[in-house]
Structure 1
Amino acid sequence: MIIETTCHNLTKLKERIAALSEEEYARPLEVLNQSTIGMHVRHVLEFYECLLESKSSKVVNYDLRKRDITLEMQLDACLKTIEKIVDVISEEKDDFSIVLEADYCETEVAAPISLPTTYFRELLYNIEHGVHHMAIIKIGMRALGKPETDENFGVAASTIRNKKICAQ
């Protein structure tokens, strides 16, 4: 279910941003504090790319992501990257142990941590992280005057389930 949900969410993201022109995708928006939809998409994709690299390294460190500006400026490159990520994620059926490395210190003095985790646990994290950014992207889409085609875009699965239960 984790793999299917991941691929489903990334496909929804791809479909949603495919409705934008490249100019809209890269336009700074006041409602997003002058960030762009492309910046949020890049951020999400780079977390997935970090996780996919852990398949060989057995270490994931989201702080060390590439920050490839191409993904936030060029819509076509972004759409191809989403397809590539979905293809790779859909191939991996087994969980495996990895180490999460991070540093939450905001000063110049490093304070790194290392925690044991698993590929599937980090996929779950990336699902939640992606949904959070898709909610922000939805705000940007509305600011651009793009009609909503999926009311559940950027909404957590638990919230969707709860709405259905309450509606019954």
Structure 2
Amino acid sequence: MLLDALNGLHDQTDLVFACLSSLDNLRLTAAFFDTGVSRHLRHMHDHERAVFHSLSSGVVDYNRRRRNDAGERDMQTTIDTSQRLRQGWLNADLSDRPVVIHSEISVTQNQTLALQSTLWRELMYMIHHNIHHLAYIKLLLDQQGIDLPASLGRAPATATHCRQLEATVSSEGVSANNSFE
């Protein structure tokens, strides 16, 4: 189940890459770099790497970030990172186990909290976190006139709501409303 969710997350990210890859260099620069899409993708990879590294270390360190890394300047590097992470999950032991979380909790001083969690909890958090950032990416690209599927960045519970709404509307013969709640 979690592997399916991880693959679905990467499928959505691949849609972004496919869309961006179809742009000419000038539009790609504006869409990938100037809007901040590259920083959102790097941030998503930071969270994914943090959870992935816990498979061997037992620690999810959300403080480890790769700000200003090569992926923020080169889309192929970002695509390669995403593909390596996807492949890593395919070969990973995703059995639930305890993990320790490290995360800073203050914006005014250096305070890191360490707490207990589980791998499944952190995978679920990371998936939802990254879907949230895909929604930001969709909005940023929409502002550039770049269309992505309406489902991109949609929360799983919202997708279920929309499917239920569509089923109700279909049975009633009324047009569906794709509102988000």
Q: Could you tell me the TM-score, scaled by structure 2's length?
A: 0.81
Report the Cα offset of residue 3 of structure 1: 1.6
Matched, 1:23 2:29: yes
Larger Cα-atom Rg:
2
Q: Which runs of 5+ in 1 are unaligned?
A: 30-35
1:13-162 equivalence runs, <5 A: 13-20=13-20, 21=23, 22-29=28-35, 36-92=36-92, 93-108=94-109, 110-148=110-148, 150-162=149-161
Moved more, 154-163 or 4-13: 4-13
**Paired residues, what number?**
160
The whole-number CA distance in structure 1 between the counterparts of 2:84 and 2:30 is 23
Report the Cα offset of residue 68 of structure 1: 4.8
Q: Which runs of 5+ in 2 are unaligned?
A: 169-181
Letter in 1 for 2:51: L
Report the Cα offset of residue 10 of structure 1: 1.5
The whole-number CA distance in structure 1 between the counterparts of 2:97 and 2:123 is 12
The whole-number CA distance in structure 1 between the counterparts of 2:75 and 2:39 is 11
The whole-number CA distance in structure 2 between the counterparts of 1:64 and 1:77 is 19
Report the Cα offset of residue 114 of structure 1: 1.4
Percent identity reads 22
Higher relative contact order (CA 8 A, sep 6+): 1
Deviations 1:72-99 (CA, angstroms, capped at 9, x unpaired): 2111111111111011112223222210
Deviations 1:110-157 (CA, angstroms, capped at 9, x unpaired): 332211111121110011101110011001111222122x22101101
The whole-number CA distance in structure 2 between the counterparts of 1:69 and 1:119 is 26
